[in-house]
Structure 1
Amino acid sequence: MIALVTLMLTARRLQAALVVLLSALATAAAVAGPVYTDAVDRAAVAAEVANTAPADRTVAVRAALESTQRDRFDALAGDLADLPGFTTVLSATLPVLGLEPESGDISWFTFRDSVCEHIRIVSGRCLMATGEAVVGASTARRLGLTPGRTVSLGWATYDEASRAWVLSGRPAPTTVVGVYEPVDPAEPYWGRSGYFSPTAPDAAAEPVFAGRPTVDALEHDADNRSVEAIPGPGAFDADTLPALSTALDELSEELGDDEEMARFAALTDDLPKLFDRVNRSDALTREVVPLAGLPLIGLCWLVIFVAVAGATAARRHEQALIALRGAPRIGRFWLAAGESVIAIAVGAPLGYVAGTLATRAIADARFGPVPVFDLAPAPGAPAAALVAVAGAVLVGLLALRRDLSSPVVDLLRRVPPRGAAWRTIAIDAAAVVLAVLAAVQLRAFDGQLLGLGLLVPGLIALAVAVLAGRLLVPLAARLGRGAVRRGRLGLALGALQVARRPGSQRLFVLLAVAVAVLGFATTTVDVADRARADRAAVETGATRTLTVAPTDAGALRAAVRAVDPDGRYAMAVGVRPGVDGPPVLFADTAALPAVAVWRPEYGDRTPAEIAAALRPPDDEPVVVKGTELALTVDYAPPPATDGTAPGTELRLTALLRPLAGGPPVRAGSADVKTGRHTWTMASQACADGCRLAGIEAIYSAAGGEVAEVSIISLGVRAEAGAPLTEVVPAFAVDRWRASDDAELTAEDGGVHVVVPGAVIQPRPTVLVPVSTPGDVPVLSGGPAPKSGEAEGVDGNIVAIRSVAEGRALPRIGTGLLMDIGYAERVATAATALDTAEVWLGPAAPADVEQRLAAQGLVVTGRDSVAAAADRLDGRGPALAVWFHLLAGVVAVLLAACGMWLMAAVDRRRTLDDLVALRRQGLAARTGGSWVLWAYLPVAVAAVVTGLVAAVIAWAVVGQYVPYFVDDDFALAPPTWPRPLAIVLPAVAVAVLFTSVAVGLRRALRVRD
């Protein structure tokens, strides 16, 4: 038996080689999915880590320690040192006085492990002994410090009563031995310290570095300590993340279980957010890749079925002779199946190696680096290979089923009998039912791509192909009969062969499914590319964006307008994340039409219309211009209940905003005295003019008592000693309103206000001019807050009025857009922006950064639509989608091979028919035309059917294909691809199939 099978393989070497090749392709297609998924997982981890700030990749335990707690903290630091792939850095910091005696400002006396390795000494030397310190270069320049200078430093604490830092420890002499600069302020070594970050609140206060003995020797009762785990090479990759996540969970539990330690120490850790993104990316990759990989494996099985069935049909006469010689059924089975099974078994390991290497090479070229020649099995690859081989053997045996069960009489016939109609109808119905069930499951599980849902595109392609294939035979027969009547013998012979050849329908289904796989792939890739481009435009908001150091909203707007007065290319922007409400985007909307990349998701109004709606006309503000303000008031405190003199706990502060832009000005003094008097407040910042934002009254007496004050008039002096000019000669009730629903009444020619006292803490009552808007118009991305309130530019709650609504907003997704200038009109507190940006339009000049720097803005970061798109392209879903294109190309090439394979299987019979017809006078040209028309109509019909199937599959599945790890911007992806994404692949496939058909014509005509 073995010898006979060996002889069969030797005699039909070409057919055996084709089955080996197809088995290898099936195995390669099966392992390609897991190998590509593994490569995407690793690349996605690298991308997510790269998109995470160095500080957010650092794990830190921080504590405010007393001297008795330091030993326990050191033990906790040892636990943190056990994190795999991390290096720990211990630091201790305490505030000291003495380095800046004139200003009385504190300095931060700091120890940090191995600090000398990460700073550059520009003068003097680094630390060597106790009692030595090094200071920052800017600090040294500002204070005139040089190496060798001795300063007296003492521990300082903050005194709440005086609201100032006071000396609390005995000063000790410290020698400045060097002046330093950080080698790289952004290197991971600095972790979460923020010493040199331009966005840090005290960025100008460079730390004074000293050795640990020096810091510990300084007399102090408490200090701030931290131990930071700094990631090293290999700390974050797909292999180490699970162990790292487990170690962090254990550390967090240990800290939480120690109640005493938990009271003074806290774990600062943003890595769970990174882990969540990585896990989400992995999950999406395992949805997107099988969506293309599973149909490809099925297509490989279909090609194997076509190959084995065709080869078996060609050996029908041989099977009949074996049966006539009385061979038992089991022997007939092994003689028929052994040839295919052995070929499949030989091709499987070749396909495993080739698929692994090829997939790694493609992944390396697409998003590397990937170890191409690493043959270590990817997770799931061996199991996928076994499934592919088992499926190949199974479909091979199914292809043998009919011939093994046919009687000898049928086997001796050259034309095999047609199968039972009910059997083919049942198979077609099963394909349609499976496709419907898969689509129903997909919708029933809210679009989750799992189970049959992963097979929806392939099943729909198969269902459409088999239904269209039912029309192939009658249409081909009709076409052949019509061609006979018209005398077109080549077309007639080709069409009739399609109608009579059993494999024609199988070939049509194979080609159509392959075209559908490619069509679905190009559609997915095109829509995904456009979705990422849309997302990139929304993430950045403008063609380019510059992040600047935290600054005041007014100063930001004034600086940008000084650079671009007409708003042609630059726009000031601030972002407030929103703690108790939606995030808010503040923008100088005068530049909105020229700068912002406007999208339909932002609403159905144009940028110009939105800008006009967000900046409605308002009343003229109250403007003061001078260096001194004089406020005339009449104050009546509540009577003292204990017989002492009445208190003077009322404070009045004028809230001013420079007209030229800049931080708000608070002009105030000590507590207001009892009685009527004119109170003078210094306001040097208003020499060029300020807008009066309001008058703040705070009564700090405890117990819930109230104080009464009448505000009579407001005047201003251009300079000290100059005559007083009244800005508000008489406070009228109809010209002012108060916060917190405080009632204003007219009294003594002014406004009478009842100011409540502090119950828990003082609460300000603010009087604002009626010219100040009562609410702020907003553009809402998503539903507006039902409360009708949101955080203003100063962080206080303001009333809002929605003028338009969209699905999303640039930069923040869902939230609110306010005009930054209009928001300032209602602000009564500081308007510092932690997230300050400058958006640039296409017309921005090349030196715009230098112009902004000249206005005092420090650029700390840069972004653009192109950079955002590149970041999205490197994340898991984007990389996974490209597997569809790979699978589509392989599917089409496999179908072309199947076409050639079908011709190879039919070669002998086709040549015999051609020779017979030539002997009867058929022209050679007509014989070649016959071969062409036997394959070209099938290919053309398959291309059209495949495109229809791809469109149907996309209509069912497209809305569920994930493109992003998160859904922060609530963007609806494009519904349909661009026409070229369908037309170009269809043309390419049609050209390929036509070339194969022409090649077959020439090959067979040469042999004729």
Structure 2
Amino acid sequence: MISLVLVMLWHRRGQAFTLALLGLLAVTSAVAAPAYLIAADRAVAVGQIATAAPNELGLVASAVQDERAATEDGAPNPAPGGLQFGDVATALIALPGFTYVYSAEYHVIGIDPNPANAVRLVYRQDVCAHLRILTGRCLAAEGDVLLGEHTAQRLNLRAGDSIELRSAVPSPDPKKKVWLPDGKPRRLLIAGTYRPAEPSAGYWGARGYFTATPETGPGEPIFTAATTQQTMDHGRITLAMDGRAGPAALHPDRLGQLRTELQNLNQSTADLGMAVQIDTEMTALLDRIDIGQSSTRLLVPVLAVPLILLACFAIFLTVGYGLEARQGELAVVALRGSRWWTRWWLAAGESLIAVLAGALCGCLIGQLLVNAVAAIVFPDGGIPAGWSSLRHAPLAAGAALLSVMVAQRRQFVGPVAALLRRNPSTGNGRWAIAAEALAVLLAVAASVQLVLSQGSLTGVGLFAPAIVMLALGLLAARALLPLISRYAVRALHRGRLGVALAGLQLARRPGAGRLFALLVATVAVAGYATCAVDTAAAGRAVEATLGTGADRVLTVQAAQPQQLLSAVRRIDPEGDFAMAVTRLPPGSSTTDVPGLAVDSTRLAAVAAWPGDGPGPDEVADRLRPELPAPPAFPGPDVAVDVSASGLTPGTKGLRLQVSVSSLTGLGDAVIELGELQNRSGTYRQRIVVCQEGCRIDGIGLARTGSFPTTAEVVIRGVRATGPDREALPVDRLADPSGWRTSPDVRLARSPDGLRVTFAAPVSESPLVWIKPASTPDPIPVAVAGGRLPADVINGLDAKPTLITGTGTLPAVPQLGRRAVLVDLEYADRITVTAGPGNTPQIWLNAAAPPDILDRVSAQGLTVVADVRSDQVRRRLEQQGPAQALWFHVLAGALAVLLGAGALVLAAAVDRRRRVEDLSALRSQGLRPGPAGQAMLGTYPALVAVAVVVGLLAGAVAWLVTGWALPLAGPYPPDLPLPGRPRVTVLLAVGAVVLLVHTAVAVATGRDLRRQVTGRGTL
């Protein structure tokens, strides 16, 4: 019996080979999914480690020791060049794969004349190997120090000079930002000046040596040897061990063990009760890796499940096709009274052997295919050794063999008369209809469950895309084939024999409906994969550009808004590539929305902008309406002429203030001019920030006691004193429409200036500001996220500011879909006491010059962060969702191959029947042309319709279920990420699928055409 089955296999070896390929694809899909997950998990880990910040790749064990206290107690000081942390050091050394650098530091003064600036005196192990010595030499003897190049230039020091340093501590008075001496001075020799070879190298850890701060000056420590540092008189010293994880510690296969070791380390230090602090951001890195890997475990099965189901459906279809062609043979076996197992073996053995052989090959092919894809897609991720992914192969092989058995159920239990029929049933029986109805109900249930679970891809929700695509394919086949039959009948009546015969072949072939459903489902899988991949790619582009704000964003140290504006405008006078930006201070309420203040004159040239809504030029015009320039004076010496009346003699009354902002970015200031008297007077003051001129932000009248019921102040002039200094024109000063103030204060024109009258009852406010009307009031804002909860936002001075909406935006760059946008200069003008900006930034476009960092430094600004959108894009492409979606590409390709294989086998099975039918028609006088059209047009027409319907089915399935896929990770940013693919991309993929399937269909029909047209001419 086995030999008979083998003969049957050889006789129909083409069909057996195709069926084996389908079995191979089924098992390959089952093996590829877990194999890809293993490779993707490793790639996510490797990618996140490669793009991690330096502080995420190591840890710091630090302790503060008081050297004087240790000496008084008789306890030994730490040995020079090493830190003795006892059990903590032992625990650190127990972390395998880490390298450690010892360091110690304390603050010193004596080199910088500014008492607000102290410098760190640092010993760091092997520091000379990581510095570029510019002048002099490196450390060689006790008493040697190394000075940073900028510090040396600023203080006019050079190698060979001697300096006197002494340890320092900050002043205990929080109001005095100065450093106080804390040790005896010592004379030291400047051995050389340095520049760090790589300031961001892992060697420096997270110590921030080269980051300037207001307390430590320009961000260049003084390096010295351990002996010099220890022998210098000092008190408190910070000792640290910086550990950096190497490749062995961060190996993808031991990240879980690393997390456990870090937890044990923290626990051990807590148990010891030691004053040693362990700082590390490695847990954040490990958490990010876990989040990325969890996304891959959700995204990969989404198309792995439909791929396996498609493979089983393809086997079911092709086996059924083959058995329908062999019904005569099986009928003969049944008529001879063969026993059921003989009948079963003769019917199923041929297909089972072919599928089993393909399944065995699929185990190897699946792993090798993923290895090849991983080598291309994850060149740095590495391919894990082992065959653990094969654990799913038996299940896939069992499903494939079960599909074979189900496909021939009719041949097992059907009557002999049914096997002898030349035209078997077309699948419109109640069981077929019930199965299709069940598929539709499952699709609806899975979709509803997905919605109710809020997109949780668990349980039935994981199968929702597969079931929806299968149900749409079955419904399309059920609806379309009757239409094809009607079209064929009409074509026959019109004499178009070729088209009619092709249509009738499709409509009346028993398995045509299932073949059409399979082709639709395969195209739908490819279309769904295209939707996921293209939507995710577009989302990453939005996150990298709109989420960053511009092509490049420089974050600078504390700078006042006017200082930032002036510096950026000097860097880029034409406004071609740079824009000043700062965030509005956060509010105290949870309903407050974040805000961004930008130099709107450059918004269109620099900022990334959402595709929907008003354009940046339109928004800039709304945010910055034309208004007169604020009053200004060329000072530094300002004089204000004022007369007052109505003040109660002998009591405290009003003090005069003026708020100014430098015209050249030197800063802002609020200056006290003096207490008003019941007479005319001139109040003078020198303002340091007004060396090159200032604008007036406001004139303040501060209550020093209780306001009188009535008082009148006349501001007669504001002028800069000195030669060739002009006063503010009286007409402009006296015009009440050019100023604004609180409602309980009245402004009026007087012959000699601006009259200010306080009415009763007087406001309880201790300070009344009279501001120039050089900004709109309320200030215009653009809002993203709908109407604001209140008509106020936090201004640059963190105080409520009235606003008026000018329109809505899809999103504010960098902040997202719930934020406000305001003009930075107007926001600065409307505040009289604006402090340093909240996260001051300089946004740059692609036209920024290569030396932009030097230009920023030349303006006195220190860059503390430099973020580029292309770097963000590369980092996003290393995260879990992007890595997982490469499997969707693989799944789409495998689905197309499944459709092509099923098409080949169906055509091969139909070959004999169609040749017989059309040859008979040829002998009855059918012309070669219509016969050839019937042979060539049947399957290409089926493919063309299936591709169109399949793309629509994939798009519908995407609309129903695609929103639940974590394409941007489980915690997506609050940005208008696209929810659907580009139509052009979807059509391009459809054209490729159509080309492949049409080529297969035409190739299978050309040989049939030669046979039919040849027979007809005999």
Alpha-carbon distance, 1:158 to partner: 2.3
Partner residue of 1:244? 258
**Kept in 2: contact 1:929–1:1001 (CA 8 A):** no
**Partner SS state of residue 111, structure 2:** strand
Alpha-carbon distance, 1:426 to partner: 0.9
Residues 368-388 of structure 1 deviation map (CA, whole Å, 9 limit, x = unaligned): 33546x55246xx33433332
AA in 2 matched with 1:778: V
Change (3 A) 1:719 1:743: closer
Alpha-carbon distance, 1:19 to partner: 2.4
Residues 461-504 of structure 1 deviation map (CA, whole Å, 9 limit, x = unaligned): 22222223234554555555555555555445444443443222
AA in 2 matched with 1:31: V
**Kept in 1: contact 2:170–2:179 (CA 8 A):** yes
**Kept in 2: contact 1:297–1:388 (CA 8 A):** yes
1:970 aligns with 2:974: yes
Alpha-carbon distance, 1:185 to partner: 0.8
Alpha-carbon distance, 1:674 to partner: 14
1:808 aligns with 2:811: yes
Alpha-carbon distance, 1:301 to partner: 1.0
CA distance in 2, matches of 1:828, 1:366: 56
TM alignment of 1:295-374, pairs within 5 A? 295-371=306-382
Alpha-carbon distance, 1:30 to partner: 2.0
**Kept in 2: contact 1:625–1:716 (CA 8 A):** no
1:108 aligns with 2:112: no
Change (3 A) 1:501 1:629: closer
Partner residue of 1:690? 694
TM alignment of 1:378-397, pairs within 5 A? 381-397=389-405
Partner residue of 1:892? 896
TM alignment of 1:434-453, pairs within 5 A? 434-453=442-461
Alpha-carbon distance, 1:31 to partner: 2.4
**Kept in 2: contact 1:196–1:203 (CA 8 A):** no
Tell me, which stretches of 5 or more residues in structure 1 are unaligned? 635-647, 700-704, 754-763
Change (3 A) 1:489 1:685: closer
AA in 1 matched with 2:358: G
CA distance in 2, matches of 1:471, 1:430: 17
Alpha-carbon distance, 1:827 to partner: 3.8
Partner residue of 2:202? 188
1:218 aligns with 2:236: no
1:838 aligns with 2:842: yes
CA distance in 1, matches of 2:14, 2:897: 19
**Kept in 2: contact 1:84–1:244 (CA 8 A):** no
**Kept in 2: contact 1:539–1:811 (CA 8 A):** yes
CA distance in 1, matches of 2:971, 2:981: 21
1:626 aligns with 2:629: no
Alpha-carbon distance, 1:306 to partner: 1.9
Match of 1:86 among 98, 111, 114: 98
Partner residue of 2:647? none
**Kept in 2: contact 1:472–1:499 (CA 8 A):** no
CA distance in 1, matches of 2:116, 2:88: 36
1:1003 aligns with 2:1007: yes
Partner residue of 1:758? none
**Partner SS state of residue 118, structure 2:** strand
Partner residue of 1:197? 211
Alpha-carbon distance, 1:427 to partner: 1.1
Residues 766-816 of structure 1 deviation map (CA, whole Å, 9 limit, x = unaligned): 653333777644333335664655444355665555444434201221333
AA in 2 matched with 1:407: P
AA in 2 matched with 1:779: A
CA distance in 1, matches of 2:996, 2:724: 92
CA distance in 1, matches of 2:810, 2:271: 45
**Kept in 2: contact 1:796–1:829 (CA 8 A):** no
Partner residue of 2:170? 158
Match of 2:946 among 929, 937, 942: 942
TM alignment of 1:904-923, pairs within 5 A? 904-913=908-917
Task: Choose 996-1005 or 76-85, whichever is displaced more.
Answer: 76-85
Change (3 A) 1:97 1:527: closer
Residues 530-585 of structure 1 deviation map (CA, whole Å, 9 limit, x = unaligned): 33333333124345555556543222212333355564554222235737454332
1:821 aligns with 2:825: yes
Partner residue of 2:437? 429
CA distance in 2, matches of 1:31, 1:143: 68
Partner residue of 1:40? 40
CA distance in 1, matches of 2:407, 2:876: 46
TM alignment of 1:263-278, pairs within 5 A? 266-278=277-289
Residues 57-105 of structure 1 deviation map (CA, whole Å, 9 limit, x = unaligned): 4433454443469888564354345445433333322111233468785
CA distance in 1, matches of 2:597, 2:86: 45
Measured on the aligned residues, the alpha-carbon RMSD in Å equals: 4.7
AA in 2 matched with 1:232: G
CA distance in 2, matches of 1:991, 1:217: 81
Partner residue of 1:642? none
Alpha-carbon distance, 1:900 to partner: 0.9
CA distance in 1, matches of 2:656, 2:84: 49
**Kept in 2: contact 1:627–1:717 (CA 8 A):** no
CA distance in 2, matches of 1:696, 1:87: 60
CA distance in 2, matches of 1:672, 1:180: 53
Partner residue of 2:785? 782
Partner residue of 1:951? 955
1:76 aligns with 2:88: yes
Change (3 A) 1:504 1:285: same
AA in 2 matched with 1:610: V
Alpha-carbon distance, 1:675 to partner: 14
**Kept in 1: contact 2:21–2:901 (CA 8 A):** no
Alpha-carbon distance, 1:437 to partner: 0.9
**Partner SS state of residue 841, structure 2:** strand
AA in 2 matched with 1:940: A
TM alignment of 1:106-145, pairs within 5 A? 106-128=118-140, 130-145=142-157
Alpha-carbon distance, 1:285 to partner: 2.5
Aligned length: 973
Match of 1:512 among 492, 506, 520: 520
**Kept in 1: contact 2:532–2:967 (CA 8 A):** no
Alpha-carbon distance, 1:886 to partner: 3.0
Alpha-carbon distance, 1:892 to partner: 2.0
**Kept in 1: contact 2:581–2:596 (CA 8 A):** yes
Residues 588-638 of structure 1 deviation map (CA, whole Å, 9 limit, x = unaligned): 11222444343356xx5453443344335668756454344578999xxxx
What is the percentage of aligned positions where both structures have the same residue?
Answer: 36
TM-score by length of 2: 0.83
Change (3 A) 1:608 1:478: closer
CA distance in 2, matches of 1:281, 1:877: 7
TM alignment of 1:468-487, pairs within 5 A? 468-471=476-479, 474-475=482-483, 477-479=485-487, 481-482=489-490, 485=493
Match of 2:580 among 572, 575, 578: 572
Change (3 A) 1:484 1:822: closer
Residues 630-676 of structure 1 deviation map (CA, whole Å, 9 limit, x = unaligned): 78999xxxxxxxxxxxxx9x99986431123332246579x999999
**Kept in 1: contact 2:585–2:838 (CA 8 A):** no
**Partner SS state of residue 599, structure 1:** coil
**Partner SS state of residue 657, structure 1:** strand
Task: Choose 996-1005 or 732-741, whichever is displaced more.
Answer: 732-741
Residues 409-429 of structure 1 deviation map (CA, whole Å, 9 limit, x = unaligned): 443454445667111111111
**Partner SS state of residue 198, structure 2:** coil
Task: Choose 31-40 or 467-476, whichever is displaced more.
Answer: 467-476
Change (3 A) 1:99 1:715: farther
**Kept in 1: contact 2:167–2:183 (CA 8 A):** yes
1:768 aligns with 2:780: no
**Kept in 2: contact 1:736–1:767 (CA 8 A):** no
CA distance in 1, matches of 2:714, 2:492: 111
Match of 1:611 among 620, 623, 626: 620
